[in-house]
Amino acid sequence: MFQAVSKPAIIEVAVPCPLRRSFDYLLTGKETHAPQPGQRVLVPFGNRRLVAVIIALKTQSEHQKLKPIIELLDAETPSLSAQQLALGQWAAQYYHHPIGDCLQQMLPVNLRKPGPAEARPSPDDCWQLCADWQSKEAPANRAKQQLALLDAFVQAPQHRLNREQLTELGFKRPLLNELIKRDLVEAVASVGITNTAETPPTLNAEQSHVVDAVTAKLGQFSRFLLEGITGSGKTEVYLRLIHAALQQGKQALVLVPEIGLTPQTLERFERRFPAQVASLHSGMSDNERLKNWLAVRQGDTPILLGTRSAILADLPKLGLIIVDEEHDPSYKQQDGWRYSARDIAVKRAADNHCPVVLGSATPSLDSLFNVERGRYALLQLRQRAGDAKPPAIQLLDIRRQNLHEGLSTPLLENIGQTVAKGQQALIFLNRRGFAPTLQCHGCGWIAQCGNCDARLTVHYRRQTLKCHHCDATAAMPYQCPDCGDDHWLFEGPGTERLEMLLQQQFPNTPVYRIDRDTMNRQGDVENRVEEIRRGGAGIIIGTQMLAKGHHFPNVTLVGIVDMDAGLFSADFRVVERSAQLLVQVAGRAGRAELAGRVLIQTHCPEHPALQTLLKQDYRRFAQQQLAERQRLQQPPASYCAVLRSDAVRLQRAEEFLQQLASALRPHAKGIQMMGPLPAPMTRRAGRFRCSLILQTPNRAKLHQLLSLATQAGDRIKKSSDLRWSIDVDPIELF
């Protein structure tokens, strides 16, 4: 017999290395199952063994001496589905990032090392008969499978079976779900979660309209921006949409910002959809992540709720994507493969012919621009639940004012009046620690970080100096190292200092501080928020940790200590970000019977952006900003990428980008090139950083140039300590 000539004996793989190309290997012919794209494979690479991903099968190779693979790691089912593989390949091109690294990041950590694609069974993978199962309606006689499974539970010791045993007995998850639905069986480890779905509340007219509009588009690609003010019931809309998708037999993917995935959020979803929600977030073990990742892929779980990287998971029946707080910067990965989960969500919706809903109270300018261009349909929720009124915003001009640790007299008086009424005040300051600067009163010496162009922050209680840009920590000195004087000046306010001041001023009022220094462990914030909600008069001090998600019904006064830092910056996105932060912080306050007030301390009350925000009009602010961006041809009115470099010596970093810029310039017609410029805080963690900014209205041209940049960048001779990277659609310019 002839050997079939087309039998693929060679595989093309992506290896987890920063190399922008693939490698070919020989199959041994002794594989126990058929190789398929997406499967993991152990290969010899140099003198190492690496877990690579098959991207194609071939019959021949350009390369002469191929090595044979060591073994196929996936039995049958590839770790990455065809759709994921295609997504990874698309993303590698779009973000100009090495394919091997992209595919590696799409795999759960446990699958990045050799071993089978299985999760260890864990205790919460156990189910038992409900105590009152006999009083419940049994499955119909013709539901033979269900009866068999029920019988297996009755026979089992303690009436319990775990996942492993169920698999052994040949029972599949959907069948188990049937028994769970009938209240015959429940998960063992789940404490305090009822297994009956709660009854959804009634929707108001606005909510119904939104639900109808999106539901009508299930099954086709459609993009929505859902602009819903704080407290307008966005989450309820999401739950209804998910329900509609599930009814059509589809799966739903919900993305939330990094710190938005609190136990409360998860519980809210689980109450509505018992045993149907899997989650992926940073607080879980690698094994748990793998377990949920697999559950969603196998279709056992129809809902995936997760943070940024959840957009990379496989949902074979994906029918709806929701991105909550779509403006949140945590959707953009800030190192390595700098992808935007929000943007990939839109791409996946297109691939899956399904709707994507981007929700926010303060939509990003990118999304508003897409509404303007008619790409996204705009849906709005303007009504606050219970008719709560938006808070009144007022500026406090603090020029030449006496400040007490950063607080003006009027703000202090207002805090006093608020707590006297038994209400709560929330003071927002985006600077943790006691004081941002330590200065010697004798000679003017200032404590600087040895590794960064930054001052050290004083942490009073711990008597330490910390750098907030690297991990440098030092003991608070007794004497000035320059002149020996021991009189110190603590300059500027920090949250720790405000806490001490306010506790002193209001000794009978509880003062709560919420920042990275006081909230160490998972769940600390939730516990503290719960305590505040139950409490009466009180003062809450916090950084941007406060701005997201949590609502404080007893807060009637919000004070913004320092607005000015967010108004002026070389980076045009800083103003957008601080406006969003302001609106979000303001949204923490007030309810129907207690209208809230927001007081903003500033040295520049005439600033146009502030004046617009003052009128409660985020949308008008956004329109003004958009007009400005269009005038200056800045994103989203143009496309942008940043090439960055860093090295131990500034000259090395600069030189590299200069050479890269020269190599690109002849091909950069119609593309604005700015730089290379040292970043505003050039030295950080002992390295100097530079940026070269590219901007053009022509996306195709930008990507052509970036392709050239990857080639040129690899060719240019570099000192060994030089690192460089490409950031497509950056959210920070430097």
Partner DNA sequence: AGCACGCCGACT
Partner DNA sequence: GTCGGCGTGCTC
Indicate the annotated binding residues for Zn(2+): 440, 443, 449, 452, 467, 470, 480, 483
- Pair 501, 507: CB distance under 8 Å: no
Angle made by CA atoms 684, 336, 116, in degrees to the nearest 5: 135
Q: Tokens at residue 445, please?
A: 């010496």
Least spacing, CB of residue 690 vs DNA, in Å = 17
Residue 489, H or E segment: strand 488-491
User: Cis (ω within 30 of 0) for the bond into 608?
Assistant: no
Select 25 or 488, whichever has its Cβ closest to DNA. Answer: 25
Q: Which of 8, 20, 24, 574 binds DNA (CB under 7 A)?
A: 24
Select 52 or 176, whichever has its Cβ closest to DNA. Answer: 52
The region of 29-37, 233-241, 531-539, 714-722 touching DNA under the rule CB under 7 A is 714-722
Q: Which of 2, 3, 32, 48 binds DNA (CB under 7 A)?
A: 48
Based on the shown chain and the rule CB under 7 A, indicate whether residue 399 belongs to the binding site for DNA.
Answer: no
Write the binding mask 668 to 707 for DNA: x where contact by CB under 7 A, - elsewhere: ----------------------------------------
The region of 39-47, 117-125, 238-246, 458-466 touching DNA under the rule CB under 7 A is 39-47
Backbone conformation region of residue 105, classed left if phi is above 0, alpha if psi is from -120 to 50, else beta? alpha
Which residues, in sequence order, are CB contacts of 347 under 8 Å at separation 6+?
Answer: 87, 90
What would you measure as the largest C-alpha separation in the chain, in angstroms?
A: 96
DSSP code at position 11: E
Distances (CA, A) of 613 to 226, 362, 363, 594: 20, 12, 14, 22
Select 434 or 688, whichever has its Cβ closest to DNA. Answer: 688
CA dihedral of residues 677, 681, 686, 690 (deg, nearest 10): -20
Select 26 or 685, whichever has its Cβ closest to DNA. Answer: 26
Based on the shown chain and the rule CB under 7 A, indicate whether residue 534 belongs to the binding site for DNA.
Answer: no
Select 50 or 185, whichever has its Cβ closest to DNA. Answer: 50
Q: How many CB atoms lie within 10 A of CB 426?
A: 29
Which residues, in sequence order, are CB contacts of 683 under 8 Å at separation 6+?
Answer: 451, 452, 453, 650, 689
Q: Which of 44, 174, 484, 536 binds DNA (CB under 7 A)?
A: 44
Q: Which of 17, 152, 175, 197 binds DNA (CB under 7 A)?
A: 17
Select 67 or 375, whichever has its Cβ closest to DNA. Answer: 67
- Residue 609 Cα to chain centre, angstroms: 27
Least spacing, CB of residue 105 vs DNA, in Å = 13
Select 215 or 725, whichever has its Cβ closest to DNA. Answer: 725
Select 12 or 206, whichever has its Cβ closest to DNA. Answer: 12
The region of 37-45, 337-345, 474-482, 632-640 touching DNA under the rule CB under 7 A is 37-45
The region of 45-53, 445-453, 484-492, 534-542 touching DNA under the rule CB under 7 A is 45-53
Residue 186, H or E segment: strand 185-187
What pairs with residue 643 in β-bridges? 692, 726
Based on the shown chain and the rule CB under 7 A, indicate whether residue 18 belongs to the binding site for DNA.
Answer: yes
Distance (Å, rounded) from C-alpha 161 to C-alpha 166? 7
What phi, psi does 168 have (nearest 5°)?
A: -55, -40
Q: Which of 14, 25, 305, 684 binds DNA (CB under 7 A)?
A: 25
Based on the shown chain and the rule CB under 7 A, indicate whether residue 422 belongs to the binding site for DNA.
Answer: no
Select 48 or 142, whichever has its Cβ closest to DNA. Answer: 48
Residue 430, H or E segment: none
The region of 13-21, 119-127, 420-428, 450-458 touching DNA under the rule CB under 7 A is 13-21
- Residue 23 Cα to chain centre, angstroms: 33
Which residues carry a binding-site annotation?
440, 443, 449, 452, 467, 470, 480, 483
Least spacing, CB of residue 109 vs DNA, in Å = 14
Select 45 or 94, whichever has its Cβ closest to DNA. Answer: 45
Which residues, in sequence order, are CB contacts of 674 under 8 Å at separation 6+?
Answer: 692, 693, 694, 695
Select 26 or 537, whichever has its Cβ closest to DNA. Answer: 26
Q: Which of 32, 141, 520, 720 binds DNA (CB under 7 A)?
A: 720
In the range 121-180, which residues lie near DNA by CB under 7 A? none
Distance (Å, rounded) from C-alpha 139 to C-alpha 182? 8
Q: Tokens at residue 105, please?
A: 């990041």
Write the binding mask 309 to 338 for DNA: x where contact by CB under 7 A, - elsewhere: ------------------------------
In the range 56-85, which residues lie near DNA by CB under 7 A? 61, 63, 65-67
Select 224 or 724, whichever has its Cβ closest to DNA. Answer: 724
Select 59 or 196, whichever has its Cβ closest to DNA. Answer: 59
Distances (CA, A) of 259 to 262, 282, 308, 398, 548: 7, 9, 11, 33, 8
Least spacing, CB of residue 68 vs DNA, in Å = 8
Least spacing, CB of residue 23 vs DNA, in Å = 4
Q: Which of 20, 45, 81, 535 binds DNA (CB under 7 A)?
A: 45
Distance (Å, rounded) from C-alpha 247 to C-alpha 663? 55
Based on the shown chain and the rule CB under 7 A, indicate whether residue 23 belongs to the binding site for DNA.
Answer: yes
Task: Give the number of residues in contact with DNA, rule: CB under 7 A.
Answer: 23
Distance (Å, rounded) from C-alpha 38 to C-alpha 80? 5
Select 441 or 723, whichever has its Cβ closest to DNA. Answer: 723
Q: Which of 19, 385, 472, 500 binds DNA (CB under 7 A)?
A: 19
Residue 4, H or E segment: none
What phi, psi does 84 have (nearest 5°)?
A: -65, -40
Q: Tokens at residue 511, please?
A: 């003062």
DSSP labels, 13-55 = EE-SSS-SS-EEEE--S--SS---TT-EEEEEETTEEEEEEEE
Select 70 or 385, whichever has its Cβ closest to DNA. Answer: 70
Distance (Å, rounded) from C-alpha 700 to C-alpha 32? 44
The region of 44-52, 86-94, 542-550, 627-635 touching DNA under the rule CB under 7 A is 44-52
Long-range contacts of 135-141 (CB under 8 A, 24+ apart): 136/182, 136/183, 136/184, 137/182, 138/184, 139/178, 139/179, 139/182
In the range 239-298, which residues lie near DNA by CB under 7 A? none
The region of 46-54, 110-118, 134-142, 206-214 touching DNA under the rule CB under 7 A is 46-54
- Pair 369, 637: CB distance under 8 Å: yes
Least spacing, CB of residue 4 vs DNA, in Å = 23
What sign has the CA pseudo-torsion 329, 334, 340, 342? negative
What sign has the CA pseudo-torsion 446, 449, 454, 456? negative
The region of 23-31, 146-154, 499-507, 561-569 touching DNA under the rule CB under 7 A is 23-31
Q: Which of 3, 47, 141, 508 binds DNA (CB under 7 A)?
A: 47
The region of 15-23, 210-218, 244-252, 490-498 touching DNA under the rule CB under 7 A is 15-23
Least spacing, CB of residue 35 vs DNA, in Å = 15
The region of 40-48, 452-460, 467-475, 620-628 touching DNA under the rule CB under 7 A is 40-48
Binding site for DNA (CB under 7 A): 17-19, 21, 23-26, 43-48, 61, 63, 65-67, 717, 719-720, 723
